[in-house]
Amino acid sequence: MPSLTLTPIRALLIGGALLLMLMLNSCGKQPTTLERIQEQGILHVITRNSPSTYFQDRNGETGFEYELIKHFADQLGVELRIETADNLDQLFNSLSAEDGPAIAAAGLVPNPERVDQVRFSDSYLDVSSQFIYHQKNTRPKQAKDLVGHTLLALKGSIHEAHLQKLKHDHPTLDYAVSDQVESVDLLRMVDEKQVDMVLVNSNQVAMNQVYFPDIRVAFTLQASHPLSWAIAPGTDVSLLNEINRFLANAKQSGLLQRLTERYYGHVDTLGYVGANAFARHLQQRLPNYEAHFRAAAQEHKVDWRLLAAMGYQESHWLPTATSKTGVRGLMMLTLRTAQAMGVKNRLDPKQSIQGGARYIAMLMSQLPKSIDPADRIWFALAAYNVGMGHLHDARKLTSAEGLDPNKWLDVKTILPRLAQKQWYSKTRYGYARGGEPVHFVNNIRRYYDILTWVTQPQIEGTSISNGGTHIPGFTPADSRTVPTDPELINE
């Protein structure tokens, strides 16, 4: 039987082996970057404040990047902490700092010059670089047409690298870069003719076309480049792998498509002409009625931007609008509804707005409690357009189909059936042009989203009419004489 007594040498050997095992074990237990984030319960992200990345809206934080990374944080089961950087240098530097943010999510193009500094994730959106000019100037069609014009891009962006290359081929080309502005500011500068041209990402153009009526694409520089998130260098691959898995899922589940449509789909929804008209009317017409929208909204406890969005959908903010069926005014009240709301003259914009506000508030309060709170407003808008009776018919048909009558997503697929005999013959109120309220709500949501950015809470308190928002060139409210509505006035 071997002796169990320990010689000093043996004890030393065993002790050393134990120590080694302990060390190896503790190395194995070293938490990965991902585990550390999960242990701390916080995902610290840096971004930029802009309409395509992150901003405050009526419900709090929002923006394409914000929504995407919030889904990621939710999936990890951690809290999201957002920090914003003033410029790209600051963003990348803070990412490399100790205890800095784990991810930068800010519509970043993996610029070869940054590759040593940070690591980029897989792409979530492909964009291209576009030269933007003012529609009143001659359209430049190629790089040599840029010579002799003032040209601006964001400092530290991929566009700066593009311009450097162009300058190499066209030495007389002049350009400047700035770290004091966002892409949205560059586009505004073209719209205001402060600069001849700017180079920005195509997603920025798609989003901002509705704010700046005079901007146009001159030409596209490069077919496409990817947008990615960046993570700090020197970390293990756990976080990067998790991000890439999440992005692949977001593509598959349709999440990325939904976000892209919501933030960059203005032109697709409104059409190019529609988007441009909205941008013009935002500047030229809305300031005349903003005070009325605000006053009516306050009285009836609704968001004034929602009323303004409704007014745009109804009449393009034209107080004398009249439909084929005799529905009239800025908020398009029927004669019956106008009378019920105490409106004496439908063509008076102030009265029309007050009537519309009172009516939508009343419809909101009449909706059954069972309706999903987030969806109530869409139901109320549908009722504003098609009437509460028809809306309830559509909800009943929705239930009969095994869908949820309290969810707008379900009811909106059924509403168009009210125009088909096989369906409306089974309803209480019969035929209605059921497709119209769906279109009506879709458009209002779009206008509402746009107005929300224009009048973010941090710049609230400044009204559109005094030029205090992001939109330049607003004229003060006018005091036009109000035409009369003979149908009501003469009664």
Measure the CA–CA gap between 104 and 96, rounded to whole angstroms: 10
| 415 counts as binding ligand BLG under rule CB under 6 A | no
Q: Which residues within the stretch 121-140 sit at the binding site for ligand BLG (CB under 6 A)?
A: none
Measure the CA–CA gap between 24 and 4, rounded to whole angstroms: 27
Annotated active-site residue 460? The verdict is: no
Residue 227 phi, psi (nearest 5) = -100, 135
Q: What type of residue is 41?
A: G
CB of 480 to ligand BLG, least distance (A): 23
CB of 429 to ligand BLG, least distance (A): 9
CB of 473 to ligand BLG, least distance (A): 30
| 168 counts as binding ligand BLG under rule CB under 6 A | no
| 389 counts as binding ligand BLG under rule CB under 6 A | yes
| 365 counts as binding ligand BLG under rule CB under 6 A | no
From the list 164, 222, 252, 323, which residue makes contact with ligand BLG (rule: CB under 6 A)?
Answer: 323
| 327 counts as binding ligand BLG under rule CB under 6 A | yes
Contact stretch for ligand BLG (CB under 6 A) within 118-126, 251-259, 324-332, 365-373: 324-332
Contact stretch for ligand BLG (CB under 6 A) within 43-51, 155-163, 208-216, 378-386: 378-386
Measure the CA–CA gap between 474 and 478, rounded to whole angstroms: 11
Q: What type of residue is 38?
A: Q
| 337 counts as binding ligand BLG under rule CB under 6 A | yes
| 442 counts as binding ligand BLG under rule CB under 6 A | no
Measure the CA–CA gap between 297 and 300, rounded to whole angstroms: 5
| 384 counts as binding ligand BLG under rule CB under 6 A | yes
Contact stretch for ligand BLG (CB under 6 A) within 136-144, 149-157, 385-393, 451-459: 385-393
Q: Which is nearer to ligand BLG, 387 or 472 (CB)?
A: 387
CB 461 within 8 A of CB 454: no
Catalytic residue among 67, 98, 314, 487: 314
Measure the CA–CA gap between 148 and 172, rounded to whole angstroms: 8
CB of 487 to ligand BLG, least distance (A): 13
Measure the CA–CA gap between 62 and 259, rounded to whole angstroms: 11
Q: Which is nearer to ligand BLG, 393 or 410 (CB)?
A: 393
Measure the CA–CA gap between 415 and 431, rounded to whole angstroms: 11
CB of 359 to ligand BLG, least distance (A): 5
CB of 417 to ligand BLG, least distance (A): 17
Contact stretch for ligand BLG (CB under 6 A) within 35-43, 142-150, 329-337, 471-479: 329-337
289 φψ region: left (φ > 0), alpha (ψ -120 to 50), beta (else): alpha
Q: Which is nearer to ligand BLG, 339 or 484 (CB)?
A: 339
CB of 312 to ligand BLG, least distance (A): 12
Residue 216 phi, psi (nearest 5) = -140, 155
Closest CA to 199 of 282, 288, 143, 132: 132
Q: Which is nearer to ligand BLG, 385 or 398 (CB)?
A: 385
Contact stretch for ligand BLG (CB under 6 A) within 102-110, 152-160, 320-328, 482-490: 320-328
Beta bridge partners, 333, equal 328
Calculate ∠ Cα 440-443-444, nearest 5°. 85
| Residue that has been written with the tokens 């991810």 in this structure | 103
From the list 332, 397, 438, 441, which residue makes contact with ligand BLG (rule: CB under 6 A)?
Answer: 332
Closest CA to 55 of 422, 464, 450: 450
Long-range contacts of 414-422 (CB under 8 A, 24+ apart): 415/382, 415/386, 415/391, 418/386, 418/390, 418/393, 418/394
Q: Which is nearer to ligand BLG, 387 or 468 (CB)?
A: 387
CB of 351 to ligand BLG, least distance (A): 13
Measure the CA–CA gap between 187 and 51, rounded to whole angstroms: 12
Beta bridge partners, 62, equal 55
From the list 90, 334, 339, 484, which residue makes contact with ligand BLG (rule: CB under 6 A)?
Answer: 334
Question: Which tokens sit at 288?
Answer: 């005349």
Running DSSP on this structure, what letter comes out for residue 50?
B
CB of 469 to ligand BLG, least distance (A): 27
Q: Which residues within the stretch 228-247 sit at the binding site for ligand BLG (CB under 6 A)?
A: none
Measure the CA–CA gap between 428 and 431, rounded to whole angstroms: 9
Helices 286-300 and 304-315: crossing angle, nearest 10°? 130
Beta bridge partners, 127, equal 225
| 325 counts as binding ligand BLG under rule CB under 6 A | yes
**Helical (H) or strand (E) element with 134:** strand 129-134
Which residue's beta carbon is nearest to the bound ligand BLG? 387
Q: Which residues bind ligand BLG (CB under 6 A)?
A: 314, 323-325, 327, 332-334, 336-337, 359, 384-389
Please list the active-site residues.
Answer: 314
